[in-house]
Structure 1
Amino acid sequence: MKDVDLSQEWALLLGELDRHVSSGRLSPDTATLSDLMRVYQVPGVSIAVGQVNGRVWATGYGVTGGEASTPVTAGTAFAACSISKHVAAFGALLLVQDGALDLDADISEYLNSWQLLDRAGQQPRVTVRQLLAHTAGLSDTWYRGYAADRAPSLLQVLEGGGSTTTPPVRATLLPGSRFRYSGSHYSVLQQLMVDVTGTPFEDLMRSLVLEPVAMADSSFDQQFPHQRPHPVARGHHGGGAGVPGGWRVQPETAAAGLWSTPTDLLRLDLEIARAASGDSKLLSRDLATEMWTPQIPGGVHGLGTELTDRVGCRRFGHTGQNVGYTCFSSVWPDSGTAVAAMTNSEDGWELLASIRAAADRRYATDVTAEPLGDVAGRYVLRDDYPIDIAVSDGQLTFSAAGQQPVVLLAEPGGRYLHPGLDLEVRFVQTDDQHHILELRQEGVTQTARNLTVRNN
């Protein structure tokens, strides 16, 4: 990527954010960041942009909230919410790399202070990989946090005892059969990492991840906001009401308990990007690649990582929402750029989605479209649903299951849009130099095989 002034670039981007981000295309209805903060009643936002070459730009907007409210700066700490999982996964993979853990070993080999059971009291076989990928089928749980004087221990959370407000963590689905996002997977991972190393989780993550990655403004210690000399953003419910006490305590620290800044978060994603290219001194290329490889075919989740991989937009990272906070951290590996943003509001996601959409348009790498003649032919979504692709007057036509042919609208990056439907089409070349057809509708991707090739 050419050398640009990130501050000037982002001053322009934040001055023209799209209010309608779901289409993936810039609409005429735009607003400034301050406009969106006012509309969604978001008191404070912090943003950082970094590149693999070490250049970073970071700043804050709005206020921290509370009686002694101060301006948000690049150094203001926020709750990192579920991005905690992304950071914890990096730590777990470092333990795998060191030989302390095996991704595909039964977790019962490592747990000694607690054991996972199903509802009948039997012990299922669950692996470390399945915990990291949310495929172990554990209890469906979202952690809302606790007042400081009401917080249970992690073991109480796992057993559903004490002041815990969530059910006991149990295996409730067939392990490995499907994806189900749940913080309970990372609570078990947290206890497993503590049992294996004999080290409190916050201390383990500090020495294993935070210090080596230079995340100096981050901590899994729930006392961090009180001990920090710099301002901490106080959480706000939807509508702007402050969270009593400023924030909630999260004993489920691996799942939702990290405190951090956008600058620290993007440091981790850039380190993973470097590792995936073989340029990290911390994590191997193979393990980094596992982080952003779908663990369920066609899925959008790797090992502790949310994935977007389509023509015109390839990125990975994680999003998060706790009581009082929202955030995201993403890296576009082909352009070597990461963006992270954090808010102190539950209503912050619409604003964050607009910021990330602006980053998509700026940093996603275009993919060259395939020659039209190479993709023409008959494809089948299933045996009773053929799709015919033809070339007419230099344009692709599309006809599905007896529908009238329509001319597809060519978009940058090798994408095509149906002129009348919410349908995106792209052609992907396989290892044998043939093509498959991908149909994307409402965020769901379906694949059609090339029947013409099969019959040749």
Structure 2
Amino acid sequence: MKRKNLAIFWCKFLFLIFTISLSFSGNLKANDFGQEFAIYLEEKVPLVLKRYDIPGATIALIENGEIKAIHAYGYANIEQEIPMVTDHIFRAESITKMFTAWGIMNLVESGKIDLDNPAEDYLTGWSFSDTEFNDREITIRKLLSHSSGLPFGIYNTYTPGDEGMPSLKESLSGEAGAPAAKPVQEPGTSFIYSNPGFGVLELVIEEVSGDNYADFMEREILDPLGMNNSAFYRTQDLSSGMVTNYDQNKEHVQPYIEPVKGHGELHTTAEDLAIFVAAWMENLQSEKPGRGIILPGSIHQLHSPEIKTAGMYKYFSDSYGLGHFVEKLPGGQQVVFHAGEGAAGVNIVCGIPEMGVGIIILTNSKTSWQFLASVLENWIDYLGVEWKGISHIFSMAKIVGWVALTLFFGASLCLFWSLTRGFLRGHRIFKPLSGPAQISRFIRAGLAIFIMGVWWGTSVKEILFWLLPNLSFWLQISLLIFSLLLLFSAMFAKESKNVNVKV
């Protein structure tokens, strides 16, 4: 009996030791992750910046619901050789939508707004323009989830202090570049990413709170979170700490503001955004999601899928919640994120609340998407989770780009060889409107003109540059060469030389 009890004791003891060792090894693994990824950042990020010709970036990491590290790379200003530092200020662009959603939930919790009430119930002095659709179906929830039926739109930019900048209401009525905020399809039917929709939410916040949007957001959201280097106004202090932004030609983009703030006007730092993302999750001090500013239940609502994404957005994420892109992972966790892109600069914030981890990547270049995808892909790999995320579309684009480049250069070589041989043998004669095979030559000429027209007359060039900053130049060269050779082959008819010998 004693031996039996002793055996049971040792079994329990060994089981306890085994359990403790597992817990200890788990902590080691978490620490190893942070150390390993920090090494990756220090070694690889400067190389990736150089590969994609990006001036600079700041990256913040979150573990266990707390800021783990903040890194700065490259230059905030190339010409003046000002190195990037962790407290440099960036335009958050569309990441702002997450904050607007928090502002709305603040008013929901105070009983001033109901997510499922029509937005027009909270508006005075402005209403949706005449439309064939029922604007009573445009609810706060649908505006937050981009399912209101309102259109996509990009607002004009203005120099800070420009007295000619339209008001918020004028902008929502279509006087600032973007279409008027009126539905273009039945509200609630499908996803349309809408900046005007978040402009309407900005107006709702102002009407309900009786305060300016920027002041309300700073008082109710930014200040309580401790985001002390963030604002919706471009103040003198903010301007002095701003990075210099660069476009696709590496030209300076002058400082600008937009008349609508609720969709993309937050100015902030990597550290402040890390504070925000960390507030989505519980930390080691057992502080709850929302950090007392909004309730954990509100965080859950913001992060719950509301509608399937559509268009190009479906390649980034399956669903959109309330102001947040969300996607379920195979392991059951949920990725919550939002990107932001403006006239110059591309950024992303991303978190997996169940794992207590997050990452913030801010850049000062229009050509940064491939860089973001590369860093994000490596972060996901280090975490050991499965998520294609934004890296999927850029990986596919790279493959398609190389295939297209190979095909166009190959076709160009064949055409060049055929034309050169024809000229040398005297078989090619300039007959643009006559000669043999006129139909096929007209088709070739039309195809060449069509290719050049699409490339230089539409936004295809900009889209390819956005997807493939390194390859777009060579794709342009290959398309130009191929089109010109195709046009030459159409203009110079191929004739066979028959020699008649008289006897």
Name the TM-score, length of structure 1 as normaliser.
0.70
Taking the aligned partners of 1:361 and 1:65, their CA distance within structure 2 comes to 32
Taking the aligned partners of 2:189 and 2:386, their CA distance within structure 1 comes to 34
- Residue by residue over 1:366-391, the C-alpha shift from the partner in whole angstroms, topping out at 9 and shown as x without a partner, is 89xxxxxxxxxxxxxxxxxxxxxxxx
- Residue by residue over 1:226-255, the C-alpha shift from the partner in whole angstroms, topping out at 9 and shown as x without a partner, is 333752112111131111x2x321222110
Shift of 1:4: 2.1
SS state of the match for residue 273, structure 1? coil
Tell whether the 8 Å contact from 2:66 to 2:278 is kept in structure 1 after alignment: no
Aligned with 1:329 (options 345, 349, 353): 349
Amino acid at match of 2:208: V
Shift of 1:65: 2.0
Alignment of 1:224-303 (within 5 A): 224=235, 226-228=236-238, 231-243=241-253, 245=254, 247-274=255-282, 278-279=288-289, 280-296=291-307, 299-303=318-322
Query: Match of 1:154?
Result: 168
CA separation of 1:122 and 1:287: change in aligned 2, threshold 3 A: closer
Taking the aligned partners of 1:274 and 1:143, their CA distance within structure 2 comes to 37
2:214 matches 1:214: no
Taking the aligned partners of 1:145 and 1:5, their CA distance within structure 2 comes to 45
Structure 2 unpaired stretches of 5+: 1-25, 310-317, 388-398, 400-503
Give 1 or 2: higher strand fraction: 1
Query: Match of 1:446?
Result: none
2:372 matches 1:352: yes
Amino acid at match of 2:270: P
Taking the aligned partners of 1:214 and 1:364, their CA distance within structure 2 comes to 31
Structure 1 unpaired stretches of 5+: 17-31, 368-421, 423-456
SS state of the match for residue 319, structure 2? coil
Taking the aligned partners of 1:5 and 1:43, their CA distance within structure 2 comes to 30
Aligned with 2:115 (options 72, 85, 103): 103
Taking the aligned partners of 1:176 and 1:118, their CA distance within structure 2 comes to 18
Aligned with 1:73 (options 65, 82, 85): 85
Taking the aligned partners of 1:52 and 1:154, their CA distance within structure 2 comes to 40
Amino acid at match of 2:249: G
SS state of the match for residue 342, structure 1? strand
SS state of the match for residue 191, structure 1? helix
Taking the aligned partners of 2:61 and 2:33, their CA distance within structure 1 comes to 7
Query: Match of 1:40?
Result: 52
Shift of 1:68: 4.4
Query: Match of 2:339?
Result: 319
Taking the aligned partners of 2:134 and 2:190, their CA distance within structure 1 comes to 20
Taking the aligned partners of 2:48 and 2:142, their CA distance within structure 1 comes to 38
Query: Match of 2:72?
Result: 60
SS state of the match for residue 77, structure 2? coil
Give 1 or 2: higher helix fraction: 2
- Residue by residue over 1:177-231, the C-alpha shift from the partner in whole angstroms, topping out at 9 and shown as x without a partner, is 111111111000001100111111110000111011111111111x23x333752
2:141 matches 1:129: yes
Shift of 1:15: 5.6
Query: Match of 2:41?
Result: 14
CA separation of 1:159 and 1:364: change in aligned 2, threshold 3 A: farther
Aligned with 1:304 (options 293, 314, 323): 323
Amino acid at match of 1:262: A
Name the TM-score, length of structure 2 as normaliser.
0.64
CA separation of 1:99 and 1:311: change in aligned 2, threshold 3 A: same
Shift of 1:121: 9.2
Shift of 1:112: 0.9
Rg comparison, structure with higher value: 2
CA separation of 1:300 and 1:63: change in aligned 2, threshold 3 A: same
Taking the aligned partners of 2:368 and 2:301, their CA distance within structure 1 comes to 30
**Aligned-residue identity in percent:** 25
CA separation of 1:220 and 1:101: change in aligned 2, threshold 3 A: same
CA separation of 1:208 and 1:124: change in aligned 2, threshold 3 A: same
Q: CA RMSD in A?
A: 2.7
CA separation of 1:37 and 1:120: change in aligned 2, threshold 3 A: same
Aligned with 1:91 (options 93, 97, 103): 103
